[in-house]
DNA sequence: TTGTAGGCGTTATCAG
DNA sequence: CTGATAACGCCTACAA
């Protein structure tokens, strides 16, 4: 392994000078710099990241913590973060929390131990207080998909109320009047916000989504299937079904299909997230696009700015808007 | 930050002793050890990974390099590797090669720079010679989904010939006689091996897959759609369609559906990989299960054994078998 | 603009 | 069994 020292000797300069040209900082004469660069090239010198981290107490690593990277949504998040990190020559550490706060804490500790001060965190079950504590000890901590007022400027999140509003409006514009919904049993956060938006749009035109037309469950495909069955058991009539996310929507469509109900001709279904399978399923899903990739890129850049002492407006947060993606699962109401 | 020194002073012993108890190596008196441990606990000491790496020239990091972690297949791979790594208290570096050898090389360099000697690599486009070179300089390099004879004991791969055989057999057992296939345009590696297996099964019972019944394209959903159209343009008749992977299969099913052809009643379709969407699509896909998660776990453990100087049989490779997963896209032939 | 030297937190080799 | 004491490779004041 070639060290800074080796290069310095070969080039006939001091280690300090080589260090300067490697980092591109400090004053170095043009001739000298060119010469050193050539020697570095020739010897194939690569700085030792660990030594550098030890001496400078800094690293160029961003850590990504998500529930499960194999889900398309988080995979997309990870790709965005990785892209931004790689572009800045940062490395990326990855960890799956499986939605367990304990695991999350362990990952944070592990990353910190590695000297990683840039962490992109997607956390739904760790309490605000803990997040605030972490934010204090981790300069580059950024939270994705959650809003914590005390650390607003570290939060990159989505306007779920607006999302709910837009999806309901679209259905209204297609002439739908009878709605049902399959959403998450979590009564706070995203699901609740979307419901607020949906009701805003509905109420404005004198329509409503009766509580009895809402099935609360978890957020997977099975939930969509079970949700449809539950709605039928309750004897609910509806021409438009709002789903918490695309997986739920696809499960619902399958269950409807099994009962001989065609989507979109008999019932319209709308999803949320716009994950890859929304383009693959049949019918292709009309859904709200969640710009998670862009958000991840943004979050990563923000994190790096944070650790590089770049000026950040403390009293600002980072809110993204979901947008309607029209495909084939929603159509005009027959009535 | 609490250092080894701090602990040593507080405990009234030398740094060397603390280091010994931290690492659990070397001889330390029972009393002494217990006392030091208590102090460590009380002070909340965490070893500095970078200093450790610098001094010992070892790290506990495994690097994962895949084309694109947001695809379900690679996401599943990553989850398996991460799980095994985390269990051994290793950290995980992640990189996406996007199938570009240059990017792959850059990632390898980057990981090496970090001191990472455990690398799980999924590479299809880097040549054997380069892989062999890497294997020489990276003690814990393990290749997933590829066989390179010279470094056989570092290769974790799938018996694609057997996979092809099994999928064809299943179709034969259902009474199918007219086959078509949409596969990858790569004439070597996985696609070719599967084709060999398919032909073995077919030939044994006097059947065949004529070259004209094969469409070569890439491996995405669009390829499946285009493939079906191409087959019809050629006027091919078939009751069973073999697809290179699940995405292709789903694209094919959609294209068939658009033409009023029902799967599985009119045509049976079989996929490969058994990614998550195989359970989600309609009809649920009959496909070959690719145990990529297990393979990733295995690969990661092997990599760690390799760097820990555990005995490894040089003349051994690691071959996994795909298995048939029956769902709803294949049925008995009408004829 | 360039060089010197001390230090970052651990490991590991010797003595004792 | 325990304790000094060099490394490890690089950064960074401080000098020159």
Report how far residue A5's alpha carbon sits from residue A88's, in angstroms, rounded to the nearest whole number. Answer: 26
- pLDDT cut 70: percent of chain A above it: 100
Nearest protein residue to nucleotide C2 (CA to C1' distance) is A17
In chain A, what's the furthest Cα-to-Cα distance? 86
> Can you list the residues of chain B whose pLDDT is less than 50?
none
Does domain B160-290 match CATH 3.40.50.2300? yes
Positions of strand D less than 7 angstroms from a protein CB = 1-5, 7-13
Task: Convert the pLDDT of each residue in A109-123 to its tens digit.
Answer: 999 999 999 999 999
pLDDT at B333: 82
Contact A69 B78 (CB under 8 A): yes
Contact B72 A69 (CB under 8 A): no
Can you give the pTM of this predicted structure? Answer: 0.94
Same fold, B56-158+293-321 and B160-290: yes
Task: Convert the pLDDT of each residue in A166-177 to its tens digit.
Answer: 999 999 999 999
Contact A46 B247 (CB under 8 A): no
- For A53, the closest of B50, B64, B247 (CB atoms) is B50
Q: How far is the CA of B51 from the C1' of C2 (A)?
A: 29
**Chain A residue with Cα closest to B60:** A114
Nearest to A244 by CA among A199, A180, A293: A180
- For B221, the closest of A86, A115, A280 (CB atoms) is A280
Residues 6 or more apart whose CB falls under 8 angstroms from that of B2 comprise B43, B44, B45, B46
Report how far residue B264's alpha carbon sits from residue B273's, in angstroms, rounded to the nearest whole number. Answer: 19
Report how far residue B140's alpha carbon sits from residue B119's, in angstroms, rounded to the nearest whole number. Answer: 6
> Given CA atoms B128, B133, B136, B141 in this order, what sign does their dihedral have?
negative
Contact B93 A92 (CB under 8 A): yes
Task: Convert the pLDDT of each residue in A279-299 to its tens digit.
Answer: 989 999 999 999 999 999 999
> Strand C-proximal residues, CB under 7 Å?
A 12-17, 20, 26-29, 31-33, 51, 54-55, 57; B 1, 3-5, 15-16, 19, 22-23, 25, 45-48, 51-52, 54-56, 58
**Chain B residue with Cα closest to A83:** B96
Contact B50 A47 (CB under 8 A): no
pLDDT at B335: 62
Work out the average pLDDT over A160-166.
98
**Residue B211 DSSP symbol:** G
CATH code for the structural domain at B56-158+293-321: 3.40.50.2300
**What torsion do the CA atoms of B16, B18, B24, B27 make, to the nearest 10 degrees?**
50
- Domain ranges, ordered by start, for chain A: 4-43, 56-158+293-321, 160-290
Answer yes or no: are the C-beta atoms of B179 and B330 closer than 8 Å: no
- pLDDT cut 90: percent of chain A above it: 92
Q: Which residues of B237-274 are buried (b: 16+ CB within 10 A; e: fewer)?
A: ebbbbbbbbbbbbbbbbbbbeeeeeebbeebbbbbbbb
In chain B, alpha helices (H): 4-11, 15-23, 30-43, 49-56, 72-87, 101-113, 128-137, 160-173, 190-204, 221-233, 246-258, 292-307
Task: Convert the pLDDT of each residue in B194-224 to its tens digit.
Answer: 999 999 999 999 999 999 999 999 888 999 9
Contact A93 B95 (CB under 8 A): no
Residue A231 has pLDDT above 80, yes or no: yes
In chain B, what's the furthest Cα-to-Cα distance? 87
Residue A335 has pLDDT above 70, yes or no: no
A2 touching B, CB under 8 A? no
Residue A324 has pLDDT above 90, yes or no: yes
Query: Does residue A3 reach within 7 angstroms of strand D, measured from its CB?
Result: yes
Cα atoms in the 13 Å half-sphere on the side-chain side of B165 = 10
């Amino acid at each position: 392994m070639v060290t800074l020292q080796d290069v310095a000797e070969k080039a006939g300069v001091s280690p300090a000078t080589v260090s300067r040209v490697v980092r591109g900082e400090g004053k170095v004469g043009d001739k000298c710099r060119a010469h050193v660069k050539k020697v570095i090239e020739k010897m194939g010198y690569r700085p030792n990241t660990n030594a550098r981290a030890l001496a400078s107490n800094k690293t160029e690593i961003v850590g990504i913590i998500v529930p499960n990277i194999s889900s398309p949504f988080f995979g997309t998040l990870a790709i965005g973060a990785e892209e931004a990190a790689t572009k800045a020559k940062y490395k990326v550490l990855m960890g799956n929390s499986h939605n367990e706060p304990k695991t999350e804490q362990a990952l944070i500790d592990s990353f910190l131990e590695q000297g990683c001060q840039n962490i992109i965190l997607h956390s739904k079950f760790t309490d605000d207080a803990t997040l605030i504590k972490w934010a204090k000890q981790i300069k580059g901590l950024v939270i994705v998909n959650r809003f914590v007022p005390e650390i607003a400027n570290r939060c990159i999140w989505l306007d779920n109320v607006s999302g709910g509003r837009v999806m309901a409006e679209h259905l209204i514009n297609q002439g739908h009047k009878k709605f049902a919904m399959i959403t998450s049993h979590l009564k706070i956060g995203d699901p609740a916000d979307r419901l607020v938006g949906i009701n805003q749009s509905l109420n404005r035109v004198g329509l409503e989504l009766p509580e009895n037309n809402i099935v609360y469950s978890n957020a997977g495909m099975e939930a969509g299937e079970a949700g449809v069955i539950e709605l039928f058991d309750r004897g609910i009539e509806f021409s438009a079904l709002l789903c918490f996310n695309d997986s739920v929507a696809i499960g619902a469509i399958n269950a409807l299909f099994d009962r001989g109900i065609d989507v979109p001709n008999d019932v319209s279904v709308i999803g949320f997230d716009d994950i890859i399978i929304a383009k693959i399923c049949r019918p292709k899903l009309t859904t709200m696009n969640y710009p998670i990739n862009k958000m991840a890129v943004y979050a990563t850049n923000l994190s790096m700015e944070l650790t590089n002492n770049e000026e950040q407006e403390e009293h600002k947060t980072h809110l993204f808007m979901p947008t309607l993606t029209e495909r084939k699962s929603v159509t005009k109401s027959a009535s």
